[in-house]
Chain A
Amino acid sequence: MVRVFMLVPGVEIPHLCAQCHDYPCVSSCPFNALSVNNATGAVAVDKEKCTSCGICIDACPGNIPFLHPGTKKIVICDLCGGDPQCAKVCQEAKFNALWVIRTWRGNVSKKIFAQTPEELTKDVATNLYGEKAEELI
């Protein structure tokens, strides 16, 4: 599940699950609604158990999960069963902004991709606009 934020014009920030090695969202859920899919490593949501409390949103270092506007249940990337369609279309269109990385489980660097859209916007805007970025944010 990818959401694209554009808090500053021209600075699009794709915001998606970073696949943390230690799953802070899963361990934060008091209702055991979240579990890890052993085959793909993705987080699975049990919609029956989810109470829409939002605790996992705060537990995520990048506040990446969100409540679905219709069902009001939590939405976390399930990697499309191991074949992420977002990366597929991005590659088909030759944009190359998303691609599938297969690294060993336990890679701790993945977690630092979990950042809030505000943090990411600040970095990318500085890179693109230099000092002007401060006025824009």
Chain B
Amino acid sequence: MPRGYAGKFLDVDLSSGNVKDTTFSDEILRNYVGGRGLAAKILWDRLGSRWQEIDPLGPENIFLAMTGPLTALYPGARVCATGKSPQCNGIIGSTTSGEFPSELKCAGYDGVIVTGKAENPVYILVTDDQAEIKDAKHVWGKEALETIRILTKEVRETLENKHRKSGKWKEPGLIYCGPAGESKVRTAAVMQKVSHAAGYGGYGAVMGSKNLKAIVAKGRKPLPDVASPGAVKLLWREVDRRYSQRDRTWPSIWGTGYGGYEVGARSSSEPVRNWQDEWHDEKSFGGPKFDFKYWTKRYWSDFNCAGSCMKLAVIRTGPHKGAFTDNPDYELEAYLGPNLGIFDPGECIYMSALIDYLGFSGINGPNTLAFAAELYQRGILTKEDLGFELKWGDVEAFEALARKIVRREGIGDVLAEGTYRAALKISQMKGVDVTKYAVHVKGVEIGAHGTRSGQDFRPVGYACSPQCGDHTSAVYDAYRDMRMVFLDSAVVCSFVDSDLLWDYYRAVTGWDTTEEEWNRTLGHRIIHIQRAAVLIGGPDITWDPAVYDDVPPRYYEPLPSGPYKDKTTDRQAFEEMKKQYYIAIGWDERGIPKSEVLRKLGLEDVDRALDKLRR
């Protein structure tokens, strides 16, 4: 067994209740590492031959919670939640930080692979080298704080009773889905702690569709051995030392929350009122307004991270008193602030807390809320459809709509399908085309970085990414962007990325993988599998790359205000870059991975599956 890995994966079949251990060969682990990469391989091996027929929300789909060899051995431990995505019908590696991944590795498992569907709500409890499926009826329907409280108490009591006189047990790590996931809302996230979400991909809904409320892990074993302990010790200190130099640690001082003003005012690429604008100069929405009044804790981080980019924000007065969330980070600040027409930090924090408690993805969920609000603004959705007025900036109305979506009541049932699917349905209902107001790439609502001003993200980054609208995996040249694939596969945080990463990886695993090899070969395999999955898609929607390898139509409308007024995404430059990217990554002019490229990489089965698309 290679070093850095706990050594085995947990394979749970919820339909039959079978729990067994699985291992993968050293060769597969070396090639696919873990996290996003290994999950893509597992998904493709098990479901690839009939990918199109697999319903992401059906019992046949697989839900994976994966760690990687660097997880918990490198600062910034994360867990990668994945499966067939109910948003894009492809594979999205979505990561979230917290203590679950380190607990899981200490319990002796590198990942949990969940198949089938339980009859009643259950949760999976993973302890030292064993796992059991436990009843979760009492936590079903509960929001974040209660879920955490009940499960933490219950698991600690169980373990303390089982191991008498072993002293107090620390809290377990858990990932769970909120009420949104339970109702299979396609914008639901896999949650960890109170507000850490694996948002993109809609894997909260996959958990919900399997009646799986949570996976709880508590391990007492040491972290896995590494190949060169001396080297890892030195590297660890050096990575931390470099990170801790104050001038370089903007996340630890400010989190990413200061972007709420910076991105809106300077680079003019922040969503405002469902992306109708991308500029605002509302100073009340700047960092200090969150910081001085609401942050009660400045430095907070997950296990073994020097980053401490989490900030605890608590509302101390007024009608929303007591609500708390961490940060909120830039994406939530943008999507639950200006994008809903909210420019009050307190209201934004309240909405962030609400979205977290309900288990929505903080990017995807609010994107749908803003989409509905724009339809209301345009008179397409009316008070009769919604049951109330949905004006920009009205916190109560947005809260009511979010809760309606979770209960799948009336229009909520339509909006629960995510922005694009809702747009299709509403177009049918109302007889007007509303898909042009849906801001998404291949069903995945886009991150809060626009392309129109040209100062932030590039359109090709979204259009050609196999992670679709995911802003953390935007592509550029099929070489440097493989680093994101690696970070998601070794499953560490991109904020503590360091130029020592590859030395670190070799010192942990003992392998001789170089960055060059990864960027030219290994990373490409993962991208091609993900690309094939998203192109084949199904069963409800497939994405023709000729149409959908593009940014949303809204990004071609000129910006109405700000320093980059009238600027828009340059279609010609974008088409040119897209062509270049296709060549660099080895896709044909229609965007389908080339046969010879796939065969050279040893992906014959992917090649065969794509044959019918080529015709």
- Given A102-B247, A131-B316, A134-B317, is A108 in contact with B262 using a C-beta cutoff of 8 Å? yes
The answer, yes or no, to whether A35 is at the interface (CB within 8 Å) is no
Counting from the closest, the 10 A-B pairs by CB-CB distance are A112-B286, A123-B293, A123-B292, A130-B316, A108-B266, A109-B262, A108-B265, A131-B317, A124-B292, A112-B283
Across the two chains, which residue of chain B brings its CB closest to A124? Answer: B292
Mark A122-137 against chain B: 1 for CB-CB distance below 8 A, else 0. Answer: 1110110011011000
Chain A-chain B contacts (Cβ-Cβ < 8 Å), number: 56
Which of B247, B262, B283, B316 has a CB less than 8 Å from the CB of A126?
B316
Mark B275-302 against chain A: 1 for CB-CB distance below 8 A, else 0. Answer: 0000000010011110011111000000
Across the two chains, which residue of chain B brings its CB closest to A115? Answer: B288
The answer, yes or no, to whether A5 is at the interface (CB within 8 Å) is no
15 chain-A/chain-B pairs, Cβ below 8 angstroms: A61-B283, A100-B247, A102-B247, A108-B261, A109-B287, A112-B288, A113-B288, A122-B293, A123-B292, A124-B293, A126-B316, A127-B292, A127-B316, A131-B316, A133-B316
Interface size, chain B (Cβ < 8 Å): 22
> In A82-137, which residues have CB < 8 Å from any B CB?
99-103, 106-109, 111-113, 115, 120, 122-124, 126-127, 130-131, 133-134
Mark B217-248 against chain A: 1 for CB-CB distance below 8 A, else 0. Answer: 00000000000000000000000000000110
Chain B residues whose C-beta falls within 8 Å of the C-beta of A109 in the assembled complex: 258, 261-262, 286-287
- CB <8 Å contact, B293 and A127: yes
Secondary structure at the A interface, as helix, strand, loop or mixed, is helix
- CB <8 Å contact, A112 and B287: yes
Q: Which of A102, A103, A112, A131 has the most CB of B within 10 A?
A: A112
Which of B246, B262, B288, B321 has a CB less than 8 Å from the CB of A107?
B262
Which of A100, A112, A123, A127 has a CB less than 8 Å from the CB of B261?
A112
- CB <8 Å contact, B289 and A123: yes
Interface size, chain A (Cβ < 8 Å): 24
- Closest chain-B Cβ to A119's Cβ sits at a distance in Å of 9
Q: CB within 8 Å of B: which residues of A?
A: 61, 99-103, 106-109, 111-113, 115, 120, 122-124, 126-127, 130-131, 133-134
Q: How far is the CA of A99 from the CA of B245 in the complex (A)?
A: 12
Q: How far is the CA of A111 from the CA of B246 in the complex (A)?
A: 21
Chain A residues whose C-beta falls within 8 Å of the C-beta of B296 in the assembled complex: 127
- CB <8 Å contact, A130 and B317: yes
Q: How far is the CA of A112 from the CA of B496 in the complex (A)?
A: 27
User: Can you add 11 more A-B contacts, CB < 8 Å, to A131-B321, A134-B317?
Assistant: A106-B266, A108-B266, A109-B258, A109-B262, A109-B286, A112-B261, A120-B292, A123-B293, A124-B292, A126-B317, A131-B317
> In B504-558, which residues have CB < 8 Å from any A CB?
none
Across the two chains, which residue of chain B brings its CB closest to A21? Answer: B266
- Closest chain-B Cβ to A97's Cβ sits at a distance in Å of 12
Q: How far is the CA of A124 from the CA of B294 in the complex (A)?
A: 8
Q: How far is the CA of A133 from the CA of B293 in the complex (A)?
A: 11
Chain B residues whose C-beta falls within 8 Å of the C-beta of A99 in the assembled complex: 246
Chain A residues whose C-beta falls within 8 Å of the C-beta of B295 in the assembled complex: 127
Q: How far is the CA of A111 from the CA of B287 in the complex (A)?
A: 10
Q: How far is the CA of A102 from the CA of B293 in the complex (A)?
A: 25
Chain B residues whose C-beta falls within 8 Å of the C-beta of A101 in the assembled complex: 246-247, 253
Chain A residues whose C-beta falls within 8 Å of the C-beta of B246 in the assembled complex: 99, 101
- Given A106-B266, A109-B286, A134-B317, is A127 in contact with B294 using a C-beta cutoff of 8 Å? yes
Across the two chains, which residue of chain A brings its CB closest to B318? Answer: A131
- Closest chain-A Cβ to B289's Cβ sits at a distance in Å of 7
Q: Which of B266, B288, B289, B321 has the most CB of A within 10 A?
A: B288
Chain A residues whose C-beta falls within 8 Å of the C-beta of B292 in the assembled complex: 120, 123-124, 127
Chain A residues whose C-beta falls within 8 Å of the C-beta of B288 in the assembled complex: 112-113, 115, 120, 123
- Closest chain-B Cβ to A121's Cβ sits at a distance in Å of 9
- Closest chain-A Cβ to B348's Cβ sits at a distance in Å of 15
Across the two chains, which residue of chain A brings its CB closest to B296? Answer: A127
Q: Which of A109, A111, A130 has the most CB of B within 10 A?
A: A109
> In B305-363, which residues have CB < 8 Å from any A CB?
316-317, 321
Q: How far is the CA of A137 from the CA of B472 in the complex (A)?
A: 43
Chain B residues whose C-beta falls within 8 Å of the C-beta of A133 in the assembled complex: 316-317
Chain A residues whose C-beta falls within 8 Å of the C-beta of B262 in the assembled complex: 107-109
Across the two chains, which residue of chain A brings its CB closest to B286? Answer: A112
Q: How far is the CA of A99 from the CA of B253 in the complex (A)?
A: 11
- Closest chain-B Cβ to A72's Cβ sits at a distance in Å of 31
Q: How far is the CA of A115 from the CA of B253 in the complex (A)?
A: 19
Chain A residues whose C-beta falls within 8 Å of the C-beta of B250 in the assembled complex: 103
Across the two chains, which residue of chain A brings its CB closest to B267? Answer: A108
Q: How far is the CA of A100 from the CA of B248 in the complex (A)?
A: 11
Across the two chains, which residue of chain B brings its CB closest to A101? Answer: B247
Q: How far is the CA of A11 from the CA of B247 in the complex (A)?
A: 27
- Closest chain-B Cβ to A64's Cβ sits at a distance in Å of 14
- CB <8 Å contact, A112 and B289: yes
Q: How far is the CA of A99 from the CA of B316 in the complex (A)?
A: 28
Across the two chains, which residue of chain A brings its CB closest to B265? Answer: A108
Q: How far is the CA of A74 from the CA of B587 in the complex (A)?
A: 65
- Closest chain-A Cβ to B242's Cβ sits at a distance in Å of 16
- Closest chain-B Cβ to A108's Cβ sits at a distance in Å of 4
- Closest chain-B Cβ to A84's Cβ sits at a distance in Å of 14
Chain A residues whose C-beta falls within 8 Å of the C-beta of B258 in the assembled complex: 109
- Closest chain-B Cβ to A28's Cβ sits at a distance in Å of 18
Q: How far is the CA of A33 from the CA of B181 in the complex (A)?
A: 62
- Closest chain-A Cβ to B127's Cβ sits at a distance in Å of 40
Across the two chains, which residue of chain A brings its CB closest to B262? Answer: A109
- Closest chain-A Cβ to B225's Cβ sits at a distance in Å of 38
Q: How far is the CA of A120 from the CA of B286 in the complex (A)?
A: 13
Across the two chains, which residue of chain A brings its CB closest to B285? Answer: A112
Q: How far is the CA of A103 from the CA of B247 in the complex (A)?
A: 8
Across the two chains, which residue of chain A brings its CB closest to B247? Answer: A102
Q: Which of A122, A123, A130, A134 has the most CB of B within 10 A?
A: A123
Q: How far is the CA of A66 from the CA of B286 in the complex (A)?
A: 25
Q: How far is the CA of A124 from the CA of B295 in the complex (A)?
A: 9
Q: How far is the CA of A133 from the CA of B317 in the complex (A)?
A: 9
Q: How far is the CA of A107 from the CA of B286 in the complex (A)?
A: 12
Q: How far is the CA of A33 from the CA of B174 in the complex (A)?
A: 61
- Closest chain-B Cβ to A63's Cβ sits at a distance in Å of 15
- Closest chain-A Cβ to B288's Cβ sits at a distance in Å of 6
Q: How far is the CA of A100 from the CA of B286 in the complex (A)?
A: 20
Across the two chains, which residue of chain B brings its CB closest to A122? Answer: B293
- Closest chain-B Cβ to A17's Cβ sits at a distance in Å of 14
Chain A residues whose C-beta falls within 8 Å of the C-beta of B316 in the assembled complex: 126-127, 130-131, 133
